[in-house]
Amino acid sequence: NTMVENSIIDKIPLITTDAGPRDKKWEERLKEEFVALIKYIQLLKEDEEDWFEINPIDGTGGIKWSGKCWYFYNFQKYEFKLQFEVPATYPASPIELELPELDGKTAKMYRGGKICLDIHFAPLWSKNTPKFGIAHALSLALGPWLAAEIPYLVDEGIVQA
């Protein structure tokens, strides 16, 4: 676990409720997800390093979320729509983060703009289920993906600011 030691990830509250969207305790889990997300965003803003906005879509019971994420490269801001749906098998299965505007623009993506998760993420997620939540997925999956892919996509002329 050295790759995430002494980092912001250690300060994101862990989640204790093991429940998915179809479980009776989903509302309880959702409250903990919000606490973790709010704390993560506060930590990022304290360091002036916030890089996403995400909210549940009204009427979906916290299952569908949308927002945006951004990445700075060569003093330019690249912003993308971000969305995901919490799978029925959550938290055993992580959320699949989607950047629909980048669909088909990189090999590190599945159909529909779902990002390919880093080879280190899946074992880390399964080892930490159910303690990891949405905030952890954003930090450990989407953050590194943007850092690896956006410079490449920009340098190749595939994405413009």
Q: Could you give the residue numbers annotated as active site?
A: 116
Amino acid (one-letter) located at 122: A
Residue 22, token pair as written in the block: 């179809």
Q: How many CB atoms lie within 10 A of CB 65?
A: 21
SS3 52: strand
Contact (CB, 8 A) for 37 and 135: yes
What is the C-alpha separation between 76 and 27, in angstroms, rounded? 39
What is the C-alpha separation between 138 and 44, in angstroms, rounded? 12
What is the C-alpha separation between 50 and 66, in angstroms, rounded? 16
